[in-house]
Amino acid sequence: MSTSKIIRLGLIGAGRMGSFHGLTAARHIPGACLAAIADPTPGQAARLAAELGVQRVYTDPQQLLDDPEIDAVLIAAPARSHAELVISAARAGKGVFCEKPMAITLDEADRAIAAAADARVPLQVGFNRRFAKSFRAAHLDVVAGRIGTPQLLRSLTRDPALNNPAASPQWVIFLETLIHDFDTLRYLNPGAEAVEVFVMADALIAPDFKDKGFLDTAVVTIRFDNGAIATAEANFQAVYGYDVRGEVFGSAGMLTMGSLNDSDLVRYLANGIQADTQRLDTDLLRDAYVAELNHFVDCLRTGEKPLASGEDARAALAIARACIESFQQGKPVRVQGAHS
Protein backbone atom coordinates (compact mmCIF):
# COMPACT_ATOMS: atom_id res chain seq x y z
CA MET A 1 0.00 0.00 0.00
CA SER A 2 1.37 3.44 -0.91
CA THR A 3 2.96 5.26 2.01
CA SER A 4 1.36 8.56 1.06
CA LYS A 5 -2.20 7.33 0.42
CA ILE A 6 -4.80 8.17 3.06
CA ILE A 7 -6.02 4.84 4.45
CA ARG A 8 -9.79 4.68 4.53
CA LEU A 9 -11.15 2.75 7.50
CA GLY A 10 -14.63 1.31 7.92
CA LEU A 11 -16.14 0.69 11.36
CA ILE A 12 -18.48 -2.23 12.04
CA GLY A 13 -20.37 -1.74 15.30
CA ALA A 14 -21.25 1.70 16.66
CA GLY A 15 -21.89 0.84 20.32
CA ARG A 16 -19.76 2.05 23.24
CA MET A 17 -16.45 0.52 22.14
CA GLY A 18 -17.14 1.06 18.45
CA SER A 19 -17.87 4.74 19.05
CA PHE A 20 -14.57 5.11 20.88
CA HIS A 21 -12.60 3.38 18.11
CA GLY A 22 -14.52 5.45 15.55
CA LEU A 23 -13.51 8.68 17.27
CA THR A 24 -9.88 7.50 17.38
CA ALA A 25 -9.94 6.59 13.68
CA ALA A 26 -11.57 9.90 12.74
CA ARG A 27 -9.32 12.17 14.82
CA HIS A 28 -6.17 10.49 16.09
CA ILE A 29 -4.52 8.48 13.28
CA PRO A 30 -2.26 10.52 11.00
CA GLY A 31 -2.61 9.31 7.41
CA ALA A 32 -5.93 7.55 7.97
CA CYS A 33 -9.58 8.54 8.12
CA LEU A 34 -12.88 7.00 9.12
CA ALA A 35 -14.77 6.66 5.85
CA ALA A 36 -17.78 4.44 6.65
CA ILE A 37 -19.79 3.06 9.57
CA ALA A 38 -22.06 -0.01 9.63
CA ASP A 39 -24.39 -1.11 12.43
CA PRO A 40 -27.62 -3.10 12.10
CA THR A 41 -29.22 -1.28 15.08
CA PRO A 42 -31.58 1.34 13.59
CA GLY A 43 -30.10 4.84 13.76
CA GLN A 44 -26.90 3.81 15.56
CA ALA A 45 -24.48 4.17 12.64
CA ALA A 46 -26.16 7.39 11.44
CA ARG A 47 -25.88 8.96 14.91
CA LEU A 48 -22.13 8.29 15.14
CA ALA A 49 -21.56 9.26 11.50
CA ALA A 50 -23.22 12.65 12.09
CA GLU A 51 -21.04 13.19 15.17
CA LEU A 52 -17.81 12.32 13.34
CA GLY A 53 -18.61 13.77 9.91
CA VAL A 54 -18.65 10.41 8.10
CA GLN A 55 -20.60 10.26 4.83
CA ARG A 56 -21.10 6.52 4.25
CA VAL A 57 -23.56 4.76 6.55
CA TYR A 58 -24.71 1.14 6.25
CA THR A 59 -27.08 -1.04 8.26
CA ASP A 60 -25.63 -4.23 6.76
CA PRO A 61 -21.91 -4.83 7.51
CA GLN A 62 -21.58 -6.72 4.22
CA GLN A 63 -22.41 -3.51 2.31
CA LEU A 64 -19.45 -1.84 4.00
CA LEU A 65 -17.22 -4.82 3.16
CA ASP A 66 -18.35 -4.63 -0.48
CA ASP A 67 -17.43 -0.92 -0.66
CA PRO A 68 -14.29 -0.72 -2.87
CA GLU A 69 -13.30 2.60 -1.30
CA ILE A 70 -12.64 0.98 2.10
CA ASP A 71 -9.09 -0.29 2.73
CA ALA A 72 -9.53 -1.91 6.13
CA VAL A 73 -12.14 -2.47 8.83
CA LEU A 74 -12.38 -2.06 12.58
CA ILE A 75 -14.70 -4.72 14.03
CA ALA A 76 -16.40 -3.70 17.28
CA ALA A 77 -19.64 -5.67 16.93
CA PRO A 78 -20.87 -8.06 19.68
CA ALA A 79 -18.25 -10.73 20.49
CA ARG A 80 -20.23 -13.70 19.22
CA SER A 81 -20.19 -12.27 15.69
CA HIS A 82 -16.46 -11.45 15.49
CA ALA A 83 -15.08 -14.55 13.78
CA GLU A 84 -17.57 -14.50 10.89
CA LEU A 85 -16.98 -10.79 10.35
CA VAL A 86 -13.19 -11.32 10.33
CA ILE A 87 -13.61 -14.06 7.70
CA SER A 88 -15.95 -11.94 5.55
CA ALA A 89 -13.66 -8.90 5.80
CA ALA A 90 -10.58 -10.92 4.84
CA ARG A 91 -12.43 -12.45 1.89
CA ALA A 92 -13.33 -8.92 0.79
CA GLY A 93 -9.60 -8.12 0.81
CA LYS A 94 -9.79 -5.70 3.74
CA GLY A 95 -7.18 -5.45 6.48
CA VAL A 96 -8.81 -6.42 9.80
CA PHE A 97 -8.64 -4.98 13.28
CA CYS A 98 -10.96 -6.96 15.56
CA GLU A 99 -11.88 -6.25 19.15
CA LYS A 100 -11.23 -9.13 21.54
CA PRO A 101 -12.17 -11.94 21.59
CA MET A 102 -11.50 -12.69 17.92
CA ALA A 103 -13.48 -15.91 18.23
CA ILE A 104 -15.38 -18.00 20.77
CA THR A 105 -14.22 -21.46 19.66
CA LEU A 106 -10.80 -22.64 18.51
CA ASP A 107 -12.32 -23.85 15.24
CA GLU A 108 -13.62 -20.32 14.57
CA ALA A 109 -10.22 -18.87 15.46
CA ASP A 110 -8.47 -21.22 13.01
CA ARG A 111 -10.89 -20.27 10.23
CA ALA A 112 -10.37 -16.54 10.90
CA ILE A 113 -6.56 -16.87 10.88
CA ALA A 114 -6.68 -18.95 7.68
CA ALA A 115 -8.98 -16.43 5.94
CA ALA A 116 -6.59 -13.54 6.70
CA ALA A 117 -3.56 -15.61 5.62
CA ASP A 118 -5.26 -16.66 2.35
CA ALA A 119 -6.18 -13.04 1.58
CA ARG A 120 -2.73 -11.79 2.68
CA VAL A 121 -4.28 -9.06 4.79
CA PRO A 122 -3.10 -8.02 8.27
CA LEU A 123 -5.19 -9.30 11.19
CA GLN A 124 -4.80 -7.50 14.51
CA VAL A 125 -6.77 -8.18 17.70
CA GLY A 126 -7.58 -5.57 20.35
CA PHE A 127 -5.25 -6.64 23.15
CA ASN A 128 -4.59 -3.05 24.16
CA ARG A 129 -2.32 -3.81 27.14
CA ARG A 130 0.47 -4.69 24.70
CA PHE A 131 0.38 -1.00 23.74
CA ALA A 132 0.16 0.44 27.27
CA LYS A 133 3.46 2.12 28.06
CA SER A 134 4.26 0.26 31.28
CA PHE A 135 3.25 -3.19 29.96
CA ARG A 136 5.26 -2.62 26.77
CA ALA A 137 8.31 -1.53 28.79
CA ALA A 138 7.94 -4.58 31.06
CA HIS A 139 7.78 -6.91 28.03
CA LEU A 140 10.96 -5.38 26.61
CA ASP A 141 12.70 -5.69 30.01
CA VAL A 142 11.84 -9.41 30.16
CA VAL A 143 13.10 -9.90 26.58
CA ALA A 144 16.34 -8.10 27.52
CA GLY A 145 16.81 -10.42 30.51
CA ARG A 146 16.70 -7.63 33.09
CA ILE A 147 14.77 -9.72 35.63
CA GLY A 148 16.33 -13.06 34.71
CA THR A 149 14.00 -16.01 34.15
CA PRO A 150 10.29 -15.33 34.84
CA GLN A 151 9.05 -17.54 37.69
CA LEU A 152 5.83 -15.94 38.96
CA LEU A 153 3.45 -13.74 36.96
CA ARG A 154 0.21 -12.00 37.80
CA SER A 155 -2.42 -10.12 35.80
CA LEU A 156 -5.70 -8.75 37.05
CA THR A 157 -8.78 -7.01 35.70
CA ARG A 158 -11.36 -5.57 38.05
CA ASP A 159 -14.23 -3.74 36.41
CA PRO A 160 -15.74 -0.84 38.37
CA ALA A 161 -19.41 -1.88 38.24
CA LEU A 162 -21.38 -4.94 37.23
CA ASN A 163 -23.76 -4.19 34.37
CA ASN A 164 -26.90 -6.25 33.89
CA PRO A 165 -25.84 -9.87 34.63
CA ALA A 166 -28.99 -11.15 32.91
CA ALA A 167 -27.68 -9.76 29.60
CA SER A 168 -24.19 -11.25 30.00
CA PRO A 169 -23.33 -14.09 27.63
CA GLN A 170 -22.23 -17.37 29.21
CA TRP A 171 -18.57 -17.61 30.28
CA VAL A 172 -18.09 -13.88 29.67
CA ILE A 173 -15.54 -13.65 32.51
CA PHE A 174 -13.18 -16.04 30.68
CA LEU A 175 -13.93 -15.25 27.03
CA GLU A 176 -14.22 -11.46 27.19
CA THR A 177 -12.58 -10.20 30.40
CA LEU A 178 -9.79 -12.59 31.45
CA ILE A 179 -8.89 -13.09 27.76
CA HIS A 180 -6.97 -9.79 28.21
CA ASP A 181 -5.08 -11.21 31.17
CA PHE A 182 -4.27 -14.46 29.37
CA ASP A 183 -2.77 -12.46 26.51
CA THR A 184 -0.93 -10.18 28.94
CA LEU A 185 0.65 -13.15 30.74
CA ARG A 186 1.88 -14.57 27.43
CA TYR A 187 3.21 -11.11 26.51
CA LEU A 188 5.07 -10.84 29.83
CA ASN A 189 6.48 -14.38 29.49
CA PRO A 190 7.62 -14.16 25.84
CA GLY A 191 8.21 -17.38 23.97
CA ALA A 192 6.49 -19.51 26.62
CA GLU A 193 3.09 -21.15 26.20
CA ALA A 194 0.47 -22.14 28.78
CA VAL A 195 0.20 -25.89 29.33
CA GLU A 196 -2.28 -26.25 32.22
CA VAL A 197 -4.92 -24.21 34.03
CA PHE A 198 -6.92 -24.52 37.24
CA VAL A 199 -9.92 -22.28 37.95
CA MET A 200 -11.82 -21.24 41.04
CA ALA A 201 -14.77 -19.01 40.19
CA ASP A 202 -18.12 -17.95 41.62
CA ALA A 203 -20.94 -15.42 41.45
CA LEU A 204 -20.17 -13.35 44.55
CA ILE A 205 -21.64 -10.04 43.36
CA ALA A 206 -24.80 -11.47 41.78
CA PRO A 207 -25.26 -14.91 43.40
CA ASP A 208 -28.82 -15.24 42.04
CA PHE A 209 -27.40 -15.58 38.52
CA LYS A 210 -24.94 -18.41 39.22
CA ASP A 211 -27.47 -21.13 38.32
CA LYS A 212 -27.90 -19.39 34.94
CA GLY A 213 -24.18 -19.92 34.27
CA PHE A 214 -23.03 -16.42 35.22
CA LEU A 215 -19.72 -15.95 37.05
CA ASP A 216 -18.45 -12.58 38.26
CA THR A 217 -15.32 -13.48 40.26
CA ALA A 218 -12.49 -15.78 39.21
CA VAL A 219 -8.90 -16.75 39.95
CA VAL A 220 -7.00 -18.81 37.37
CA THR A 221 -3.66 -20.52 37.97
CA ILE A 222 -1.67 -21.15 34.80
CA ARG A 223 1.46 -23.24 34.37
CA PHE A 224 3.74 -22.35 31.44
CA ASP A 225 6.09 -24.66 29.55
CA ASN A 226 9.13 -22.72 30.82
CA GLY A 227 8.15 -23.60 34.40
CA ALA A 228 6.68 -20.20 35.29
CA ILE A 229 3.46 -20.16 37.32
CA ALA A 230 0.94 -17.36 36.76
CA THR A 231 -2.31 -16.16 38.27
CA ALA A 232 -5.02 -14.21 36.47
CA GLU A 233 -7.91 -12.77 38.43
CA ALA A 234 -11.06 -10.87 37.61
CA ASN A 235 -13.97 -9.32 39.42
CA PHE A 236 -16.83 -7.29 37.96
CA GLN A 237 -17.32 -4.79 40.81
CA ALA A 238 -14.32 -2.88 42.14
CA VAL A 239 -16.11 -0.02 43.89
CA TYR A 240 -12.91 2.09 43.90
CA GLY A 241 -12.37 2.23 40.11
CA TYR A 242 -11.17 0.40 37.02
CA ASP A 243 -8.21 -1.69 38.17
CA VAL A 244 -5.75 -3.27 35.70
CA ARG A 245 -2.33 -4.38 36.94
CA GLY A 246 0.43 -6.80 36.11
CA GLU A 247 3.52 -8.25 37.77
CA VAL A 248 6.48 -10.39 36.70
CA PHE A 249 8.79 -11.84 39.33
CA GLY A 250 12.01 -13.35 38.01
CA SER A 251 15.29 -14.83 39.16
CA ALA A 252 16.96 -11.39 39.06
CA GLY A 253 14.17 -8.99 40.05
CA MET A 254 10.55 -7.97 39.67
CA LEU A 255 8.47 -5.67 37.46
CA THR A 256 5.06 -4.24 38.36
CA MET A 257 2.81 -2.25 36.08
CA GLY A 258 -0.59 -0.58 36.06
CA SER A 259 -2.23 2.12 38.16
CA LEU A 260 -5.84 3.15 38.42
CA ASN A 261 -5.07 6.70 39.55
CA ASP A 262 -6.56 9.46 37.44
CA SER A 263 -3.35 11.50 37.83
CA ASP A 264 -0.38 11.74 40.18
CA LEU A 265 -2.29 14.18 42.39
CA VAL A 266 -2.61 12.92 45.96
CA ARG A 267 -4.56 14.90 48.58
CA TYR A 268 -3.24 14.86 52.16
CA LEU A 269 -6.15 16.10 54.27
CA ALA A 270 -7.28 16.09 57.90
CA ASN A 271 -9.36 12.97 57.38
CA GLY A 272 -6.71 10.98 55.46
CA ILE A 273 -5.04 10.59 52.09
CA GLN A 274 -7.14 10.57 48.90
CA ALA A 275 -6.63 10.21 45.14
CA ASP A 276 -9.06 10.17 42.21
CA THR A 277 -9.36 6.96 40.18
CA GLN A 278 -10.37 6.10 36.62
CA ARG A 279 -13.79 4.48 36.08
CA LEU A 280 -13.66 3.56 32.38
CA ASP A 281 -11.35 1.31 30.35
CA THR A 282 -11.31 3.96 27.61
CA ASP A 283 -9.97 6.52 30.12
CA LEU A 284 -7.49 4.29 31.96
CA LEU A 285 -6.05 2.80 28.75
CA ARG A 286 -6.83 5.65 26.36
CA ASP A 287 -3.28 6.02 25.06
CA ALA A 288 -3.02 2.26 24.49
CA TYR A 289 -6.28 2.20 22.50
CA VAL A 290 -5.00 5.04 20.30
CA ALA A 291 -1.57 3.38 19.91
CA GLU A 292 -3.02 0.02 18.85
CA LEU A 293 -5.02 1.57 15.98
CA ASN A 294 -2.00 3.60 14.85
CA HIS A 295 0.01 0.36 14.89
CA PHE A 296 -2.70 -1.32 12.78
CA VAL A 297 -2.48 1.43 10.15
CA ASP A 298 1.34 1.14 10.18
CA CYS A 299 0.99 -2.61 9.51
CA LEU A 300 -1.38 -1.89 6.61
CA ARG A 301 1.29 0.37 5.08
CA THR A 302 4.34 -1.81 5.73
CA GLY A 303 2.88 -5.32 5.50
CA GLU A 304 4.39 -6.14 8.91
CA LYS A 305 2.66 -8.63 11.18
CA PRO A 306 0.69 -6.90 13.96
CA LEU A 307 2.01 -7.07 17.54
CA ALA A 308 -1.29 -8.61 18.64
CA SER A 309 -1.92 -11.23 15.95
CA GLY A 310 -4.62 -13.76 15.17
CA GLU A 311 -2.29 -16.46 16.53
CA ASP A 312 -1.98 -14.52 19.81
CA ALA A 313 -5.78 -14.34 19.99
CA ARG A 314 -6.03 -18.09 19.42
CA ALA A 315 -3.48 -18.84 22.15
CA ALA A 316 -5.38 -16.67 24.67
CA LEU A 317 -8.65 -18.33 23.60
CA ALA A 318 -7.13 -21.81 24.14
CA ILE A 319 -6.45 -20.78 27.76
CA ALA A 320 -10.02 -19.42 28.14
CA ARG A 321 -11.55 -22.63 26.75
CA ALA A 322 -9.43 -24.71 29.16
CA CYS A 323 -10.69 -22.48 32.01
CA ILE A 324 -14.31 -23.28 31.15
CA GLU A 325 -13.47 -26.98 31.25
CA SER A 326 -11.54 -26.64 34.52
CA PHE A 327 -14.47 -24.83 36.14
CA GLN A 328 -16.94 -27.47 34.94
CA GLN A 329 -14.74 -30.38 36.08
CA GLY A 330 -13.35 -28.80 39.24
CA LYS A 331 -9.82 -29.86 38.42
CA PRO A 332 -6.71 -28.77 36.46
CA VAL A 333 -7.05 -29.06 32.66
CA ARG A 334 -4.43 -29.22 29.90
CA VAL A 335 -4.51 -26.34 27.43
CA GLN A 336 -5.37 -27.61 23.94
CA GLY A 337 -2.34 -27.50 21.68
CA ALA A 338 0.05 -27.35 24.67
CA HIS A 339 3.24 -29.10 23.72
CA SER A 340 4.99 -30.01 26.93
Q: Per-residue pLDDT tens for 132-178?
A: 999 999 999 999 999 999 999 999 999 999 989 999 999 999 999 99
Asked if residue 228 lies in contact with residue 182, where contact means CB atoms within 8 angstroms, the answer is: no
Mean pLDDT of the region 9-13: 98
- Beta strands 7-12 and 72-75, pairing class: parallel
Of 159, 199, 193, residue with least CA distance to 314: 193
Asked if residue 138 lies in contact with residue 188, where contact means CB atoms within 8 angstroms, the answer is: yes
Q: What is this structure's pTM? A: 0.96
Whole-number Å distance between alpha carbons of 133 and 156? 17
Handedness of CA 13, 16, 21, 26 (dihedral sign): positive
Q: Per-residue pLDDT tens for 312-330?
A: 999 999 999 999 999 999 9
Res. 3 pLDDT band, cuts 50 70 90: low
Of 326, 125, 312, residue with least CA distance to 218: 326
Q: Per-residue pLDDT tens for 26-39?
A: 999 999 999 999 99
Asked if residue 224 lies in contact with residue 147, where contact means CB atoms within 8 angstroms, the answer is: no
Paired strand residues for 74: 11, 97
Mean pLDDT of the region 250-268: 96
pLDDT given at position 4? 75
Whole-number Å distance between alpha carbons of 318 and 267? 44
pLDDT given at position 340? 47
Mean pLDDT of the region 275-297: 96
Longest Cα separation, the chain? 65
